[in-house]
Amino acid sequence: MGIGLAAPALILGAPGPAASAEITLRTLAAARGFRIGASVSSSALEKDSGYQDKLKYEFNSVTPENAMKWANLEATRGQETWGKADAIVDLATQNNQMVRGHTLVWHKSLPTWVTDGTLSTDELRDALKQHIQKTVKRYAGRVAVWDVVNEALNDDGTLRQSIWLQRLGSGYIADAFRWAREADPSAKLYINDFDAEWATPKRDGLYKLVRDLRAQGVPIDGVGFQTHTLIKDPIPAALPLTQLQDTLKLFAGLGVDVAVTELDIRVKLPSDADKLAAQAETYRRAAAACVGVSRCVSLTVWGFTDKYSWVDSGVPGWGDADLLDRSLQKKPAYAKVQSVLADRDFAGTVTALHSGQCLTMPADGRRLVQSSCTNGQDQKFTFQRVATKIYTITSGGKCLTVDGASTAAGAAVSGRACVAGKPEQQFELRPVGEVGAQDYRLMPTHSYKSVAVKGGSTANWAPVEQAQYLSSTTPPTQVWRLSGVPRQP
């Protein structure tokens, strides 16, 4: 049943284009409802204002690189040092950035008093539980995601012979997740590992582990793929990360979120233009793999500038692994990630919210109409991005067009041959309602009026026109539901 007309809405002058913002990675990611993150060096944050600025403006998610590891929080039993971790969380909160806590259970970066063998098995178990719950409770409501268990597997897919497996048994993984859930029921809990980005025994082992734990009711919300990668020297014909998207899809099929959590791509030093180009292409692959999977919710780079990269000391002879160089300038890899985040093409149906009928492209290219939804090809549209929030809308090789480039209310909207750059064939998708909804106005950029069904009709085959912009969306006669929007454009 159609929605009856309410009292006349206030008619305003045509609104101009949405205000543009600086096209940082954060700007583009936010437009997608996506998280682009970076690990944070506490020392760099304290001494380098340029580093802090880049962190704030380029990323909407942060991960403490070392500040939350147990050895740095409680080197001496009972003497807690939260200052560096607090500083990162406080800064993120001030800048509306999500925090990814890293990491609660790991076989490295442990206090000596945990590893020296003086604790009994019961004492060790209790110490681990207290560490997890103390840390998670401290940041409850401010740390949205936790890497609960980190690097639990060997390369062959078996459980790593860590202090936790040797002393507490395989149940320590399930216990850790349950303890973290008790401490903050709202936080998302991840298992995180490396070298599982392609078809390896480790990937198989990780898949079975997550599957089995979830079958037991263990609260695992997500799987993180570290994605530390290298460009071999000489540069190979086939660059890495060709299977990453398939891997992300595979794990998403278990009903969990997935994320790229520690991305960096190192090259053999000295670097050169060819190596940096190969690196850039590999960064592009990683970003494209993640945004191409609906349940891949974030991509985090492990250090965003070569100036403070762990690779220099961690992998001698290799380096230049990050998006920015040592002067905090953008490298080719930055531009590639930026281009992926900016790519907003999608396809789907377009439904008139007031009538529940679908926008339909007549085969002969005449005026568009609304008609009963049939899932036919004439009701499937492709949205191709030409600028931030601006798209051409096509079906059957024809572009939605305001006839004659008219700026008048009542002008017909038809299907015409596509001509690049014509503003009467370009539409701003202006969201209506809450972030994450699928409801939009379609606003021709030459007029900034609204695409609507003529007269607000609910009838089958009612024609579509360019209508005077109404400030109200009640009734929703100028609102369209787009089925294929990948989060927010």
Same domain, residue pair 238 and 270: yes
pLDDT at 9: 31
Domain boundary (286, 320, 342) is at: 342
The mean per-residue pLDDT over the stretch 389-402 comes to: 92
Is residue 479 a contact partner of residue 487, using CB atoms and an 8 Å limit?
no
Say how many C-beta atoms besides its own lie within 10 A of residue 487's C-beta: 18
pLDDT at 19: 36
pLDDT band for 2, please (50, 70, 90 cuts).
very low
Catalytic residues: 151, 262
Is residue 201 a contact partner of residue 169, using CB atoms and an 8 Å limit?
no
Question: What are the residues facing 350 on neighbouring strands?
Answer: 482
State the Cα–Cα distance between residues 259 and 100, nearest whole angstrom. 11
Residue identified by tokens 């582990």 is 209
Domain boundary (342, 365, 381) is at: 342
Same domain, residue pair 304 and 217: yes
Same domain, residue pair 76 and 92: yes
Same domain, residue pair 385 and 304: no
SS3 per-residue string spanning the chain = CCCCCCCCCCECCCCCCCCCCCCCHHHHHHHHCCEEEEEECHHHHHHCHHHHHHHHHHCCEEEECCCCCHHHHCCECCECCCHHHHHHHHHHHHCCCEEEEEEEECCCCCCHHHHCCCCCHHHHHHHHHHHHHHHHHHCCCCCCEEEEEECCECCCCCECCCHHHHHHCCCHHHHHHHHHHHHCCCCEEEEEECCCCCCCHHHHHHHHHHHHHHHCCCCCCEEEECCEEEECCCCCCCCCCCCHHHHHHHHHCCCCEEEEEEEEEEEECCCCHHHHHHHHHHHHHHHHHHHCCCCEEEEEECCCEHHHCCHHHHCCCEECCCCECCCCCECHHHHHHHHHHHCCCEEECEEECCCCCEEECCCCCCECEEECCCCCHHHCEEEEEEECCEEEEEECCEEEEEHHHCCCCCCEEEEEECCCCCHHHCEEEEECCCCCCCEEEEEECCCCCEEEEHHHCCCCCCEEEEECCECCCCCCCCCEEECCCCCCC
Same domain, residue pair 167 and 49: yes
Domain assignment of residue 396, yes or no: yes
Q: What value, to the nearest 5°, has the Cα angle with vertex 236 and ends 234 and 240?
A: 125
pLDDT band for 1, please (50, 70, 90 cuts).
very low
Same domain, residue pair 207 and 309: yes
Q: What value, to the nearest 5°, has the Cα angle with vertex 189 and ends 43 and 292?
A: 90
pLDDT at 344: 73
Same domain, residue pair 272 and 401: no
Same domain, residue pair 280 and 429: no
The separation between CA 382 and the C-alpha centre of its own chain, rounded to angstroms, equals 22
Same domain, residue pair 279 and 365: no
The per-residue pLDDT for range 66-113, each reduced to its tens digit, is 999 999 999 999 999 999 999 999 999 999 999 999 999 999 999 999
Same domain, residue pair 109 and 135: yes
Same domain, residue pair 324 and 460: no
Domain assignment of residue 6, yes or no: no
Residue 242, domain CATH? 3.20.20.80
pLDDT at 365: 66
pLDDT band for 489, please (50, 70, 90 cuts).
very low
Is residue 16 a contact partner of residue 279, using CB atoms and an 8 Å limit?
no
Question: What are the residues facing 40 on neighbouring strands?
Answer: 64
- Report whether pLDDT(388) > 90: no
Residue 475, domain CATH? 2.80.10.50
Torsion of CA 47, 267, 286, 239, to 10 degrees: 180
Domain assignment of residue 121, yes or no: yes
pLDDT band for 251, please (50, 70, 90 cuts).
very high
Average pLDDT of the chain to the nearest whole number: 92
Structure tokens at 385: 């991005």
Domain assignment of residue 488, yes or no: no
Closest CA to 133 of 178, 69, 173, 81: 178
Domain assignment of residue 18, yes or no: no
State the Cα–Cα distance between residues 282 and 276, nearest whole angstrom. 10
pLDDT band for 22, please (50, 70, 90 cuts).
low
State the Cα–Cα distance between residues 391 and 388, nearest whole angstrom. 8
Same domain, residue pair 360 and 280: no
Structure tokens at 313: 């000391």
Residues present in the chain in total: 489
Domain assignment of residue 221, yes or no: yes
Q: Which domain range does residue 357 map to?
A: 346-482
State the Cα–Cα distance between residues 412 and 451, nearest whole angstrom. 9
Domain assignment of residue 4, yes or no: no
pLDDT band for 444, please (50, 70, 90 cuts).
very high
State the Cα–Cα distance between residues 21 and 26, nearest whole angstrom. 10
The per-residue pLDDT for range 272-329, each reduced to its tens digit, is 999 999 999 999 999 999 988 889 999 999 999 999 999 999 999 999 999 999 999 9
Domain boundary (295, 310, 342) is at: 342
Say how many C-beta atoms besides its own lie within 10 A of residue 316's C-beta: 9
Residues 6+ apart with CB under 8 A from 296: 248, 252, 257, 258, 259, 260, 289, 290
- Helix 25-32 to helix 49-58 angle (10° resolution) is 20
The mean per-residue pLDDT over the stretch 138-160 comes to: 98
Is residue 170 a contact partner of residue 162, using CB atoms and an 8 Å limit?
no
Domain count, the chain: 2
Domain assignment of residue 475, yes or no: yes
At 156, which amino acid appears?
D
Residue identified by tokens 């998006």 is 323
The separation between CA 214 and the C-alpha centre of its own chain, rounded to angstroms, equals 23
Say how many C-beta atoms besides its own lie within 10 A of residue 330's C-beta: 15
Is residue 277 a contact partner of residue 322, using CB atoms and an 8 Å limit?
no
